[in-house]
Amino acid sequence: MKKNVYLDYNATAPLRPGVKEVIQSALDVVGNASSIHHFGRNSRHIIETARHQVAELVGGNSENVTFNSGATEGNNSIIKAFHKQGVLVSSIEHPCVIEQKHDGITIQVTKDGVIDLEHFHDLIGRTPPPTLVSVMMVNNETGVIQPIKDMIDICHGRGVKFHTDAAQAIGRIPVNLFMLNADYMTISSHKIGGPHGVGAIITTNNATPPVLLHGGGQEKNHRAGTENVAGIAGFGAAAKHATDHFEEFQTCKTLQDHLESNLKKIHESIVIHGENADRVCNTTCFSIPGASAETMLIAFDLENIALSSGSACSSGKVMDSHVLKAMKCPAPELKGALRLSYGWATTREDIDIFLNNAEKIIKRIV
């Protein structure tokens, strides 16, 4: 029987150890966290424990953590609050940022997928300057780490607020919100091995989380709606596990080196995107020029190997990646881009199974 090999952590990571049990325990707690009776206080205690655990993961203060349904909601909340005043985003942002209203000008990246700081200097120096700059900390397709600290210093020198989507960064690289001094950070639970449908906005510099949902006093009036107690509990448990086992996660670098060195031996035309830039240790985005990513995805799936296209995929349709386009990748590379992402439960055997099948599939298709 073929072993199931899951290499799509950047889409959703498997639940970390102990998270399911924490969720199940929280489901047995009856009470609305806004109620003043002891049932409500029990639910409130679960939420506040998780708030502290999430704050620990990002180097923030628990009072600055506002729970919501995930980074998409958080990103929408922040961008919508500032779009009439001027928002500058990069060309490689997640669709939940880049598809929102802005003036159409985006910050360019280099061929390695890193923010072009010279272009950024030019844009931020224009009159009038934007009120907010939004740039992700780690790109979800390539794993390239962006020069966020440099950008924040430039923004604050001009009185511009800064937001970073850190969904693909937490648990993978050291993240300390107060050292970075970002005004807003957004994260998602399921990217680090917690449940779906939970996330948070974390703030600094006395920034107030923008309100997207009105109608209740939950989350200090910053996010209306009865809290998802069990989901938040699971998010907190995943955050604690990620904090406690951060060093262990860095063993993914060994897997990444093994994967990429052997991948290049399979076919001489393989291109690894962002190879010359700083990247997180769990992401490999590569292209086989002339091949069809969709065909390869199906072939790998038939071998019980889950990975993703380096392209945008929604409603079953695979489209060219706007990230790789921004990196000026040639058309043949766009069509044959695949992304592998791995994490806390990935083994050397998983990578070897992928490599063995990749050799057969690529030679058959290319």
Task: Give pLDDT tens digits for 69-114.
Answer: 999 999 999 999 998 889 999 999 999 999 886 667 899 999 999 9
Q: pLDDT tens digits for 133-190?
A: 999 999 999 999 999 999 999 999 999 999 999 999 999 999 999 899 999 999 999 9
Question: Active site residue: 96, 155, 313, 329, which one?
Answer: 313
High-pLDDT (> 70) share of the chain, %: 97
Dihedral sign for Cα atoms in the order 65, 70, 72, 73:
negative
Active site residue 281: no
Confidence of residue 313 (pLDDT cuts 50, 70, 90): low
Region 343-351: mean pLDDT is: 97
Q: Which domains does the chain have, with CATH numbers?
A: 5-14+248-365 (3.90.1150.10), 19-244 (3.40.640.10)
Distance CA 345, CA 347 (A): 6
The angle formed by the CA atoms of residues 255, 256 and 259, to the nearest 5 degrees, is 85
**pTM, 2 dp:** 0.95
**DSSP secondary structure letter of residue 267:** -
What pLDDT, on the 0 to 100 scale, is given for residue 319? 77
Exposure of 297 in the CB half-sphere (CA atoms within 13 A): 21
315, pLDDT greater than 50: no
Name the phi and psi angles at 276, rounded to 5.
Answer: -95, 5
Q: Which long-range contacts (CB under 8 A, 24 or more apart) does 242-246 make?
A: 242/16, 242/57, 242/170, 242/171, 242/192, 242/193, 243/53, 243/56, 243/57, 243/171, 245/344, 246/171, 246/174
What pLDDT, on the 0 to 100 scale, is given for residue 105? 87
Average pLDDT taken over every residue of the chain = 94
Distance CA 256, CA 275 (A): 11
Distance CA 45, CA 229 (A): 10
Distance CA 349, CA 341 (A): 15
